[in-house]
Amino acid sequence: MRSVDLIRRKRDGQVLTPSEIAHFVEGAAQRTWPDYQLGAMLMAIVCRGMTPDETAALTGAMIASGERLDWGADAERAVDKHSTGGVGDKTSLILAPLAAACGALVPMMSGRGLGHTGGTLDKLEAIPGFRVGLNADEARGILGRVGCVMMSQTERIVPADRTLYALRDVTATVESIPLISASIMSKKIAEGVRGLVLDVKVGDGAFMKSLDDARTLARSLVAIGTAHGVRTQALLTCMEHPLGAACGNALEVAECIDVLRGAGPADVRELSLELAARMVALTGIADARQRVETALASGAGLETFGRMIEAQGGDRRVIDEPTRLPDAPYRFALKAGHAGIFQGWRAEAVGRAVVALGGGRDRAEDAIDPGVGILVRARRGDHVSPGDVLAELHYRDEGRRARAQALLADAGLITDNRPPELPLLREQLE
């Protein structure tokens, strides 16, 4: 079975057999297919799509490419959350310790940034010393002591996805429901969780721009989870504008600490509480929302976050001293040119501006500057006057700052009209 023949078959719109899909996945896992052929197959899938049976076969083959974790007697309490990606989407760092403080076990296997969206691992690595590369025994030990662990894929967990995930980011093959579904669900099923909450983003800053596409993706994810015995539910949430104020890795960590202290932006706090409560409920714990709110108010969530940081080699002092987080040396204030009502930031433009500053990747091998980013000062519906600061750019390089500023030039409009309300939670699917 030649790889070029499989690429041609999918390019021409033919349905691949399970064995052909398994051959492709094995080629990614064993690196027997070169990157240019893997990229060609990914593009063929994006252009031609996959049937539900092909998507199921792809997910199964990716799970089978590595080992599955087992949490033993505690498995029924093992739950997780996954977001399809957005700008300023930092809820994982908040909800994992909150859910753990309520008695859930959260073995969260996360990814890096894709395209204009940030990645949980990149945010965590902004914490000095924080280790995301753990083996299964280390993860099991931290989970038992702390209740949550946030890690990258181990060498043995879905190795095919590690290769394909990195290639999708740099080959313009991110926006594909079959590829997104298989990537997300193969990792979560291999993770050994019994409950999963999915945050499917919809809007300008999401990969799914329309509500119909988001629904299609959510249904695909829930169907795969259910078929594999994982209690799965999905929320469709708004990503027309950035979530919270901070966009950029260290800036987002600092904002998460603020939220865990009971402060921070209202939208970040509310979404984190809602997702955490649903995770806790999937374990069978009663009064989940009340328990999560109590964990936030009492500081138990913050304490758990600190313990997780320490357990994974990070500098716990960032909890009380956020200045220990990386910081870019320069600031630039983007100001309003005239008075009116701010219509909000186009989320994708803000995300691309963060990448331009060095806070994301254009190529798989690019290093990320954890200290750069954007603080959104003006929010949708705010009245602004000439000279008011709309956004603050944290930057290290003047050329990158100029590129980021250009991307933001038309990303935030000021008019005389009040923009319509955009509910944070659009729909839910179980």
Check whether residue 318 and residue 330 sit in a common domain. Answer: no
The pLDDT-based confidence of 364 (bands split at 50, 70, 90) is: low
- Burial label, 220 (beta-carbon count in 10 A; 0-12, 13-18, 19+): buried
Q: Domain total for the chain?
A: 3
- Lowest-pLDDT range of 169-178, 232-241, 370-379, 406-415: 169-178
pLDDT of residue 166: 85
Position 55 in a domain: no
Q: Which of 82, 112, 400, 401 is catalytic?
A: 82
Check whether residue 229 and residue 242 sit in a common domain. Answer: yes
Q: Which of 10, 81, 123, 187 is catalytic?
A: 187
Position 428 in a domain: no
Q: Which of 23, 116, 140, 168 is catalytic?
A: 168
Check whether residue 330 and residue 315 sit in a common domain. Answer: no
Whether the per-residue pLDDT at 220 is higher than 70: the answer is yes
Check whether residue 198 and residue 113 sit in a common domain. Answer: yes
Average pLDDT, the chain: 94
Check whether residue 373 and residue 277 sit in a common domain. Answer: no
The pLDDT-based confidence of 362 (bands split at 50, 70, 90) is: confident
Q: What is the pTM of this model?
A: 0.89
Check whether residue 171 and residue 187 sit in a common domain. Answer: yes
For residue 358, give the CATH number of its domain. 3.90.1170.30
**pLDDT top residue among 45 and 207:** 45
Q: How many CB atoms are closer than 10 A to CB 418? A: 11
Q: Which of 65, 152, 176, 183 is catalytic?
A: 183
What tokens does 73 get?
């007697």
Q: Which of 80, 89, 161, 258 is catalytic?
A: 161
Check whether residue 135 and residue 9 sit in a common domain. Answer: no
Position 289 in a domain: yes
- The answer to whether 405 and 392 are in contact (CB under 8 A) is no
Whether the per-residue pLDDT at 413 is higher than 70: the answer is yes
Q: Which of 295, 322, 349 is the last residue of a domain?
A: 322
pLDDT of residue 389: 97
The pLDDT-based confidence of 42 (bands split at 50, 70, 90) is: very high
Position 348 in a domain: yes
The domain in which residue 401 lies consists of: 326-415
Task: Taking residues 325-342, report their average pLDDT.
Answer: 97
pLDDT of residue 71: 86
Position 423 in a domain: no
Q: Which of 266, 299, 322 is the last residue of a domain?
A: 322
Q: Verify whether residue 82 is a known catalytic residue.
A: yes
Q: Verify whether residue 161 is a known catalytic residue.
A: yes
Q: Which of 322, 344, 367 is the last residue of a domain?
A: 322
Q: Verify whether residue 187 is a known catalytic residue.
A: yes
- Burial label, 12 (beta-carbon count in 10 A; 0-12, 13-18, 19+): exposed
